[in-house]
Structure 1
Amino acid sequence: MKKILSLFLILVLMLSLSSCDTTNAQPIDSLPKVVMVASEGGLGDESFNDMAYEGILKAAKDYRIEVTIEEPEDRYAYIETVSAVAGEADLVIAVGYIDANTLQEIAENNPDTYFAVVDSQVQVADNVMILSFKEEEGSFIVGIIAALTTETQILGFVGGAEDGTIESFEFGYRAGIKAINPEARVLVEYTGCFDNAEHGKAAALSLIEEGADVVFHAAGECGIGVIEAAGEKGVWAIGVDKDQSDLNPDAVLCSMFKRVDHGVHLAIQSFMEGKFEGAVYEFGLDFEAVGYSDAAGNLSNEVKSLADLYAKAIIAGDIYVPKNREEFEEFKVPEEGLI
């Protein structure tokens, strides 16, 4: 797969060059080498990795680059792959969390390589750009929508691996629900992975059997199974990362989008234009990097209006959204009339 993708992108570049003056054209083998290392689940997850790949494709149209896609078998091989490709790449796009100590070691061992890492949190070196998203803010908004939609007052959440990133999805969602209905129940299941739709379906069915009639997922490819379960049982699923209503417009209430594609494109743009700076780049509602989408038109104007009001309150600083259990326990439901 990775070789086919690389050759395909190079071919596109060659075709585009053939239509213009190539007297001073740069040889293909000397183009900057960009390697994207996908996280668990790889391409075709209809979620996180696919969004990152969309950013790669856009950058390949805007800049003359050679692109290779690596798809490790699991999250353990992911770290090894990032380290292995660093010696051959000019820029590594790592689509998934890497702990600070490991990332610092990789960066220091490869000082001439640039790295853009999605979902890590700590700046570790001048050659590392951290692309961090405020998932809790987008999740809060779909929590508002879920709480306004449920008829059973029981809502579900399916996560992949239990880590800090997925935790921010869960507790942002819980906080949004609590803001509308503090008495609502939130049931949670974790699949322990991101690459098995059947595990996602089983987790969702378990929640649905307990009464959940809206189930939000942050579980990568496992989310495909969550949406399948919702469709079979006649309840609502909430998609993630990209608008997932195309999987089943009658079952996907809305989706919480996370513009990983924009972050990836920004990293490549900064690298190609000589403006790459090692730092933590954080994207939230204020940059429209997270939020909700309703391509299937399942939300009423009333629900959308209220969701938008809460989003404005978050951007204004009137609501601080929790991203972990400790912050959630201290979360105060906004007083009536705040927004």
Structure 2
Amino acid sequence: MKKILALLMIAVLAFTVVGCSGGDKADDAEKPAEQTEGEDNEATDEQLKITMVTDVGGVNDQSFNQSAWEGLQKADKDLGTKSDYQESHQDADFVPNLETALDAENDLIWGIGFKLADAVKAAAEENPDAKYAIVDFSYGDKTPDNVVGVVFKQEQPSFLVGYIAAMMSETGKVGFVGGMESEVITAFDYGYHAGVAYANKVADKDVKVLRQYAEAFDDPAKGKAIANSMYQQGADIVFHAAGGTGDGVIEAAKEQDKYAIGVDRDQNDLAPDNVITSAMKRVDVGVYNVVKDLKEGKFPGGTTVVYGLEEGAVDIAPTSDKHVPKEILDKVEEIKKLIIDGEIKVPVDEDSYEEYLKTLE
């Protein structure tokens, strides 16, 4: 009897050991594989987590979305932050992308572009403990305390490239291709027109501007078709403020052996022989500075930060000297000072443009 009991106990113990061993293997199988060096995608307790939600142009639009991402990448490198992005392919993606960023417990959530204004404001009001920022939009005195707007005086570099276009045009016609009508793109538009008008006045020229809006920031084919039409009408230089749609403008310039003017970033690398300058709007600088403020405990919530020539956040591209004659660039430097000093008030819309034209009479 004792032998039987002993055998039973041994059997029970053996079964228990096997069962426990099998449980350890199952637990191990559920654990993620250890990450190799350089693959850590989790922010540490000390790191600030930041996510940006792009406009429909996407993070590789060669324009303002890409510039914003470059600003966050620089912040990661300089300030030790951990950045990510949610890419929007249509307007309907804005709200769910902002929700995804919130669920990830980011310390700061960016909306890139004025089209996200309503979605960002709604998210900020629903989540007052979260911090948000938006590029190219100001809520004015209705800015929530947990939101900062970052805007640029895009009319200023547009004036400068308008002057350059008029001075370099050999046909007496230049073009402007806008993305979608808005306060931001209108400022690019009339700033450019004013620069052309200024050149006409001081250099006794009569350069005309062809204008068309693509009604999209993500349609290079439409941008290319518009630019081709302008070149066929006699324009020899076309400036675009159209995000990814502008890639088509630059492609048309390459194929037609004409000139184009880029926007937001220095776009000369897209067509070194054809992009003569760019109206740079340093979204990367604005994004970086807000992140730096947050890192230092100085988040400017409830306000709008404005960047222009005086802050060094808008300008013409540094590669402009590849194609633009020195005498024109020297004059551009003089014009910058006139703008900064307030002697030239660059228009931002039709009404202010009409007022500006009166100063040239």
Distance in 2 (CA, whole Å) between partners of 1:27 and 1:133 is 31
Amino acid at match of 2:82: E
Structure 2, unmatched stretches of 5+, are 1-35
1:322 aligns with 2:347: yes
The answer to whether residue 301 in structure 2 is matched with residue 285 in structure 1 is: no
324-333 vs 184-193, greater mean Cα deviation: 324-333
Residue matched to 1:304: 329
**How far 1:291 moved relative to its partner?**
0.9
Contact 1:239 1:254 in 2 (8 A): yes
SS at match of 2:276: strand
Q: What are the Cα deviations for residues 274-313 of structure 1, in whole angstroms up to 9, with x where unaligned?
A: 1101211000011111110141611111110111111110
1:144 maps to 163
Equivalent of 1:93, from 90, 96, 110?
110
Tell me the residue number matched to 1:45: 61
The answer to whether 1:199 aligns with 2:215 is no
Contact 1:37/1:81, CA 8 A, preserved across alignment: yes
Shift of 1:76: 4.0
1:57 maps to 2:80: no
Alignment check: 8 A CA contact 1:90 1:112 kept = no
The answer (yes or no) to whether the contact 1:179–1:333 under 8 Å persists in 2 is no
Give secondary structure in 1 for the equivalent of 2:70: helix
Could you tell which deviates more after superposition, 117-126 or 313-322?
117-126
Q: In the alignment, is residue 161 of structure 1 matched against residue 180 of structure 2?
A: yes
Q: What CA distance in whole angstroms lies between the structure 2 residues aligned with 1:11 and 1:184?
A: 59
Cα-to-partner distance string for 1:48-86 (whole Å, 9 max, x where unaligned): 111111111111112333322100112342355235533
The one of 258, 264, 273 equivalent to 2:287 is 264
Q: Using the TM superposition, name which of 106-115 and 287-296 deviates more.
A: 287-296
Structure 2 CA distance for aligned equivalents of residues 108 and 281 of structure 1: 20
After superposition, the Cα gap between the structure-2 partners of 1:27 and 1:211, relative to the gap in structure 1 and judged at 3 Å, is closer
Whose helix fraction is larger, Structure 1's or Structure 2's?
A: 2
Within 1, Cα distance between the matches of 2:59 and 2:151? 21
Given residue 189 of structure 1, which amino acid in structure 2 is its aligned partner? Q
Residue 63 of structure 1 aligns with an amino acid whose one-letter code is L
In structure 2, the partner of 1:109 is 126
- What does residue 131 of structure 1 align with? 150
State the one-letter code of the partner of 1:302: E
In the alignment, residue 251 of structure 2 is paired with which amino acid? E
Aligned to 2:139: 122
Name the SS of the counterpart of 2:69 in structure 1: helix
**Count of paired positions:** 317
Q: Is the 8 A contact 1:253 1:294 kept in 2?
A: no
Separation in structure 2 between the aligned mates of residue 188 and residue 91 of structure 1, nearest angstrom: 38
1:246-257 equivalences in 2 (<5 Å): 246-257=269-280
Question: Percent identity between the aligned chains?
Answer: 39
CA contact (8 A) 2:55 2:116 kept: no
Counterparts in 2 of 1:47 and 1:73: CA distance versus 1, 3 Å: same
Counterpart contact for 2:111–2:117, Cα < 8 Å: no
After superposition, the Cα gap between the structure-2 partners of 1:121 and 1:230, relative to the gap in structure 1 and judged at 3 Å, is same
Q: Separation in 2 of the partners of 1:11 and 1:152?
A: 58
Higher Rg: 2
Task: State yes or no: 1:234 paired with 2:254.
Answer: no
For residue 236 of structure 2, what is the aligned residue in structure 1? Answer: 213
| Contact 1:39/1:71 (<8 A) preserved | yes
Amino acid aligned to 2:215: G
